Structure 1
């Protein structure tokens, strides 16, 4: 009886330690304003966003097309405002970008404001068309595919813009100036934003709003589940640029156990060929020998061009 009791104590202790670890969130930012609907994708789980919710490194935040404003305040200072139909990842680990990345913008509208003038990092804001490597105060960026528009609102911004040859090219955007990177790779920098950009900027970006971070300090906001993730809902991330999309191989591998998700991955394999080795791992000689007469499952045909990084 004593032996059983001791064993129960160990089991309970392990369970409590595991429970504590599962709730020990490494908070990178906090949602302090939410005017509209938004979702949070943590690991392979979709949650309904709320004000006060903690955002961890590599969490994905997506606003709906009807959202007016979502504000994230970073621990350590700085804010990120998101407009409607925007998709971002917070503090991603990107190859060759160091540890300075605050946000990756997949698409939509974002306004990044730093508290410390002159703050620098390997990459502060990243997206497929360009990276921001130096920011003195704030910027507004709009991303759509390989097109990007950037407004250096109150101070110069240093960028690396993908040129027509697919190489990053240093480009400075002076205070008040506007950079446009088009889908064909052409880049222009003008002294002020074009009228179409000014008209399209979310109205909420023009308001000066005080910090609300103190209102949520010490609070543990529980989020409701938002339903199972489907392939269509993750496709834009799965098909993103290689330095980002490879992050999802381990993260979303459990989703591939769902048959519809797996079928869609296979059907679109040319768009994300790195999933081939996950869905069809090579069998060892011992595994093949233990299955005499069994024909290997057919693999999707992928061109050599698609397999290139």
Structure 2
């Protein structure tokens, strides 16, 4: 019976997202990659169309995964990378909506050429800094801080601390931003050789757009099943503005024993789920009749 319920939730979760407007498309995939849409896990392949709020994850063995947007913008993902496409970030005043949220790993963003790029900088968000750029920018996010390199054009970094905007730093053509694990940051005239050595080899090549080869073709992703708590743990425990958006998305999974146990065990890291799991705690107190009205 439980198995049938899980299948039903997976299908419902997938269908809720299946009708969404396509945002972008996978055009290059070297190695395995995972798509999380709604409450479903799916396998990615070249030609699969992506939508707002899709989570895309590459493995340590992935060489390159390219995402091409409808307006010509390009996001290249390196190995061991996790991103959320076009997050809404509710409740974040003044925070600009970006193409992608980089939780971990390597990202290369290329602004579309021509009229589509005018007055529309390309940008990404992350837990420790946001960046808007015109041109090409390479970035990395890890446990020990972050890095961004303006390969061409100019950009602006807005640092994030405890979920709030911090210092704003400009990036000129060729300059690099480095953020250490202790929160200290600096802008250098050029990236450190150690970062250039770590940069994915595929990022050093300039590859042409390939979306046209998939025009008119429908390449559906293959469903693997429902997400487990471990699959989305890093997202459930992310910054507050993101966590709120995941509650309605994964609320149906709270009835699964494994998912529920994970939520309860780590409740302090995502307290917004307490109301979902224990709604009785948030009921108004029962009305008590006054002593005068209780007298005969």
Q: TM-score, normalised by structure 2?
A: 0.84
1:75 matched residue in structure 2: 70
Q: Aligned-pair distance for 1:77?
A: 1.7
Query: Aligned partners of 1:165 and 1:262: how far apart in 2?
Result: 26
8 Å Cα contact 2:109/2:136 also seen in 1: yes
More relative contact order, 1 or 2 (CA 8 Å, 6+ apart): 2
1:178 to 176, 179, 183: 176
Q: Report the counterpart of residue 97 of structure 2 in structure 1.
A: 100
Please name the residue that 2:259 is paired with: 261
Distance 1:164 1:227 in 2: 34
Aligned partner of residue 77 in structure 1, secondary structure: coil
Shift of 1:240: 0.7
Distance 2:241 2:181 in 1: 19
The corresponding residue for 2:109 is 112
The count of corresponding residues between Structure 1 and Structure 2 is 268
| Cα-to-partner distance string for 1:163-220 (whole Å, 9 max, x where unaligned) | 6996421101111111111221111111111111011000000111111101111221
Which residue of 2 is the match for residue 202 of structure 1? 200
Aligned-partner Cα distance in 1 for 2:209–2:162: 40
Q: CA contact under 8 A between 1:136 and 1:157: conserved in structure 2? A: yes
Question: Partner of 2:27 in structure 1?
Answer: 32
Query: Structure 2: how far apart are the matches of 1:224 and 1:56?
Result: 15
Task: Quote the Cα distance in structure 2 between the aligned partners of 1:286 and 1:161.
Answer: 43
Q: Displacement of 1:284 after TM fit? A: 4.0
Q: Kindly tell me: are residues 54 and 287 of structure 1, through their superposed partners in 2, closer, same or farther at Cα, counting changes over 3 Å?
A: farther
The offset of 1:100, in angstroms, is 3.5
Distance (whole Å) between structure 1 residues aligned to residue 60 and residue 264 of structure 2: 29
Change (3 A) 1:281 1:204: same
Query: RMSD over aligned Cα, in angstroms?
Result: 2.5
Higher strand fraction (1 or 2): 2
Rounded to whole Å, the distance in 2 between the matches of 1:278 and 1:109 is 34
The aligned counterpart of 1:307 is none
The whole-number CA distance in structure 1 between the counterparts of 2:83 and 2:200 is 16
Q: Do the aligned partners of residues 178 and 280 (structure 1) sit closer, same or farther apart at CA in structure 2, a change above 3 Å counting?
A: same
Contact 1:118 1:136 in 2 (8 A): no
Q: Which runs of 5+ in 1 are unaligned?
A: 1-19, 290-309
In 1, the alpha carbon distance for the partners of 2:20 and 2:164 equals 38
Distance in 2 (CA, whole Å) between partners of 1:224 and 1:108 is: 24
Query: What corresponds to 1:243 in structure 2?
Result: 241
Partner of 1:277: 275
Task: Please tell me whether the aligned partners of residues 87 and 97 of structure 2 are also in contact (alpha carbons under 8 angstroms).
Answer: no
Q: How far off its partner does 1:124 sit?
A: 2.1
**Is the contact made by 2:163 and 2:240 (CA closer than 8 Å) also made in structure 1?**
no
Q: 1:284 to 1:242 in 2, by over 3 A?
A: closer
What does residue 227 of structure 2 align with? 229
Structure 2 gaps, min length 5: 1-14, 289-296
Superposition deviation, residue 22 in structure 1: 7.2
- Following superposition, which runs of at least 4 residues in structure 1 exceed 2 angstroms of deviation? 20-25, 95-100, 116-121, 162-167, 282-289
**2: CA distance between counterparts of 1:40 and 1:165?**
26
Alpha-carbon deviation of 1:23? 5.0
1:256-280 superposed Cα distances (whole Å, 9 cap, x missing partner): 1110110111010011111111111
In structure 1, what is the Cα distance between the partners aligned to 2:188 and 2:284? Answer: 62
Deviation at 1:288, TM superposition (A): 11
Contact 2:149 2:177 in 1 (8 A): yes
Q: Which residue of 1 aligns with 2:44?
A: 49
Q: Is the 8 A contact 1:113 1:139 kept in 2?
A: yes
